């Protein structure tokens, strides 16, 4: 740690751990619980079945963009992938469509939904570090994600050679579906994962209409905080996916325990990212970079994107890339008068880029379908790069008009 006194090493590590886990630990745990309850109850299946049946075979890719995005917002990417992929393979089999034609839009939506929307760890850490308005992140994130995932999930499929001939290995099997009579309603199934976003955006709108000194303003601020909105979503999920479906307290507790156990490694990885971020701040790397790039004729948004892309490629972990980049990029916001919401989105799409063979997302995609490394680059690599590059173009367009 050149440039840092040896006596500051331990305090820096402690500050890095607390800065991330103090903000994100509860949110991550709540998110894992919601994902687990949705899976066990069949809510995920209900969302997929309903959207596919309403949109029909012709619009299947667009239906799966929506499904992937919703799953990515509600769950960790790996969980969303492992839930969605068997469902998609089942749909492809029924519709007699090559499975990879439908996997690409699903994964494109899931990776973008996970990368740019709170309360997922990467975007949540960026919102906190840049003091961005979380409701604006949702609104402008929606503007960014729509054209981006259409390009990465639908349009690029036409340019991937051999997409229809890619074999399906023996690891990933079609999902065993629950009977329709056992599934929760579509309205309830879709409400739970979207409830935090609804509460956060509603809170911001409510605060515009009342005095900042009033009880209603403070109540809206309380309800709209990430931790409370996620807690309320968990309580609703426990009721509608658990007690209302006649599950016992012990059964629900087992699901909660399983969900928390499943994210222990994720918490440690994210904590490591927090330490890296704090080291970057305390050693002055961020300030040095700002003084250097200030002389370059390049938008700070592009620089933030490049920095996050490089960290993602080096570390192989999207949330770590976003959290680490936050420590480097934060000084640019004040120095160059950059809109913090756009900076959040630039780093977020930068963390969702083409990766190498040691990346967890790359390996999960390749091993799940039993395809070659070459075919993984043609599919996973292409859609991830498109997500990142097109997302940046849209953000730069927003910067011109804001």
The whole-angstrom separation of Cα 105 and Cα 76 is 17
Q: pLDDT value at position 354?
A: 82
Q: Percentage helix, strand, coil, to 5, in the chain?
A: 80, 0, 20
Residues 6+ apart with CB under 8 A from 367: 171
Per-residue pLDDT tens for 96-105? Answer: 889 999 999 9
Per-residue pLDDT tens for 205-259? Answer: 888 888 888 999 999 989 988 788 889 999 999 999 999 888 888 999 999 998 8
Q: pLDDT value at position 378?
A: 94
Q: Which of 227, 267, 228 is nearest to 17 (CA)?
A: 267
The whole-angstrom separation of Cα 78 and Cα 364 is 8
Q: Which two tokens stand for residue 51?
A: 């959207």
- pLDDT above 90: residue 116: yes
Q: pLDDT value at position 23?
A: 62
The full set of domain ranges for the chain reads 6-173+185-401
Query: What's the mean per-residue pLDDT of the chain?
Result: 85
Q: In whole angstroms, what separates CA 72 from the centre of its chain?
A: 5
- pLDDT above 70: residue 20: no
Q: pLDDT value at position 39?
A: 80
Q: pLDDT value at position 1?
A: 45
- pLDDT above 70: residue 290: no
Report the pLDDT averaged over residues 111-121. 89
The whole-angstrom separation of Cα 27 and Cα 35 is 12
> Half-sphere exposure of 185 toward its Cβ, with a 13 Å CA cutoff?
5
- Cβ count within 10 A of residue 56: 10
- Determine what percent of the chain is predicted with pLDDT higher than 90: 34
- pLDDT above 80: residue 127: yes
Q: Which two tokens stand for residue 8?
A: 């500051």
Quote the radius of gyration of the chain (alpha carbons, Å).
21
Q: pLDDT value at position 245?
A: 86
Q: Which two tokens stand for residue 354?
A: 């083409």
Confidence of residue 196 (pLDDT cuts 50, 70, 90): confident
- Residue 74 and residue 120 in contact, taking contact as beta carbons nearer than 8 Å: no
Per-residue pLDDT tens for 168-191? Answer: 877 666 667 788 888 999 999 989
Q: What is residue 160's DSSP assignment?
A: S
- pLDDT above 90: residue 350: yes
Confidence of residue 277 (pLDDT cuts 50, 70, 90): low
Q: In whole angstroms, what separates CA 235 from the centre of its chain?
A: 22
Per-residue pLDDT tens for 29-87? Answer: 887 788 788 888 888 888 888 888 888 888 999 999 998 998 888 777 877 887 788 88
- Cβ count within 10 A of residue 184: 21
- Cβ count within 10 A of residue 203: 21
Q: In whole angstroms, what separates CA 348 from the centre of its chain?
A: 9
The whole-angstrom separation of Cα 289 and Cα 279 is 14
Reduced to 3 states, what is the DSSP secondary structure of residue 128? helix
């Amino acid at each position: 740690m050149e440039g840092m006194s040896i006596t500051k090493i331990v305090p820096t590590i402690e500050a890095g751990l607390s800065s991330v886990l103090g903000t994100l630990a509860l949110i991550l745990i709540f998110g894992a619980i919601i994902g687990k309850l949705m899976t066990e109850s069949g809510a995920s299946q209900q969302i997929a079945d309903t959207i596919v049946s309403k949109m029909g075979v012709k619009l299947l890719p667009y239906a799966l963009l929506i499904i992937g995005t919703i799953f990515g917002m509600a769950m960790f990417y790996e969980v969303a992938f492992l839930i969605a992929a068997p469902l998609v393979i089942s749909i492809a089999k029924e519709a007699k469509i090559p499975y990879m034609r439908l996997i690409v839009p699903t994964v494109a939506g899931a990776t973008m939904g996970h990368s740019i929307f709170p309360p997922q760890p990467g975007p949540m850490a960026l919102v906190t570090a840049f003091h961005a308005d979380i409701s604006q992140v949702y609104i402008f994130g929606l503007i960014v994600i729509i054209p981006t995932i259409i390009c990465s999930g639908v349009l690029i499929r036409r340019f991937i050679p051999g997409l229809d001939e890619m074999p399906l290995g023996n690891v990933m099997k079609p999902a065993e579906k629950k009977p329709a009579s056992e599934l929760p309603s579509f309205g309830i199934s879709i409400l739970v994962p979207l409830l935090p976003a609804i509460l956060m955006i509603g809170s911001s709108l409510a605060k515009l209409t009342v005095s900042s000194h009033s009880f209603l303003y403070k109540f809206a601020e309380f309800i709209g905080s990430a931790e409370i909105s996620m807690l309320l979503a968990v309580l609703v999920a426990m009721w509608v996916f658990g007690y209302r479906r006649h599950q016992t307290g012990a059964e629900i507790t087992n699901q909660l325990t399983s969900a928390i156990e499943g994210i222990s490694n994720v918490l440690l990885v994210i904590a490591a990212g927090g330490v890296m971020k704090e080291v970057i701040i305390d050693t002055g790397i961020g300030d040095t970079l700002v003084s250097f790039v200030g002389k370059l004729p390049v938008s700070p948004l592009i620089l933030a994107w490049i920095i996050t892309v490089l960290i993602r490629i080096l570390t192989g972990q999207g949330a770590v890339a976003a959290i680490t980049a936050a420590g480097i990029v934060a000084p640019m916001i004040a120095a160059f008068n950059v809109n913090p919401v756009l900076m959040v989105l630039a780093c977020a799409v930068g963390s969702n880029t083409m990766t190498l063979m040691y990346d967890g997302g790359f390996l999960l995609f390749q091993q799940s379908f039993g395809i070659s490394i070459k075919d993984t680059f043609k599919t996973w690599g292409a859609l991830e790069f498109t997500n990142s590059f097109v997302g940046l173009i849209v953000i730069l367009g927003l910067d011109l008009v804001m």
